[in-house]
Amino acid sequence: MGRGPIFRFWGTGEDGAMLRDKLTALLQPVIAGLGYDLWELEYLPGRGKSLLRIYLDTEVHAGITVEDCERASRAVSEALDAADPIPGNYTLEVSSPGVERPLRVARHFAPYAGEQVFVEMVHPVEERRRFKGRMVATGDDTIEVEVDGRLYRLPIAGIRKAHLAPDF
């Protein structure tokens, strides 16, 4: 079972995993100390335009305000400046996961059982990679999504990306 945020590092490998672990270990306590939940980390490297995006939530999913993001951004910036874990220049973004919040690990899926989701798998499951439907069950290792009256059991470890997909 995965714990904590997922870290997207294009060209993942040992370096990406080490940087992810380092950033999570550094920032999780800072964010928790402010009373927030570190929902997800994304690091998108680029030539002179790297981006570190942090998604915050509250434990009860009560929502994050602009003031919450500003407060967290200041604290995260101080921690990053002191530790200097990211090589080169980057932009820091701190935000709420939003209405179409990304879902990455088991703890992300569980509160949203019964909701509409979009899931893209790394490898096909029953000859398909994309699923948009109602998430009917969640577990430590799998979720079940109903698409057009058919139930699909999807391994969380095999998900490339997933997010809530509310009908508006």
| Per-residue pLDDT in tens (0 to 9) along the chain, 168 residues | 333 444 444 434 556 668 878 899 999 999 999 999 999 888 888 887 889 999 999 877 678 999 999 999 999 999 999 999 988 889 999 999 988 999 988 999 999 999 999 999 999 999 999 999 999 999 999 999 999 999 999 999 999 999 999 987
| Same domain assignment for residues 15 and 87 | yes
Task: Identify whether 149 is part of a domain.
Answer: yes
Domain's final residue, options 39, 69, 95: 95
Partners of 16 in the beta sheet? none
Strand pairing of 90-95 and 50-57? Answer: parallel
| Same domain assignment for residues 133 and 55 | no
State the Cα–Cα distance between residues 135 and 166, nearest whole angstrom.
Answer: 12
pTM of this prediction exceeds 0.85: no
Task: Identify whether 101 is part of a domain.
Answer: no
Residue 85 is part of which domain span?
A: 7-95
Long-range CB contacts (< 8 A, 24+ apart) of 87-90?
Answer: 88/48, 88/50, 89/48, 89/50, 90/43, 90/50, 90/51, 90/52
Task: Identify whether 55 is part of a domain.
Answer: yes
Here the CATH number for the domain that contains residue 35 is 3.30.300.70
Task: Identify whether 111 is part of a domain.
Answer: yes
**Structural domain count of the chain:** 2
Domain's final residue, options 95, 114, 148: 95
| Same domain assignment for residues 86 and 135 | no
| Same domain assignment for residues 14 and 91 | yes
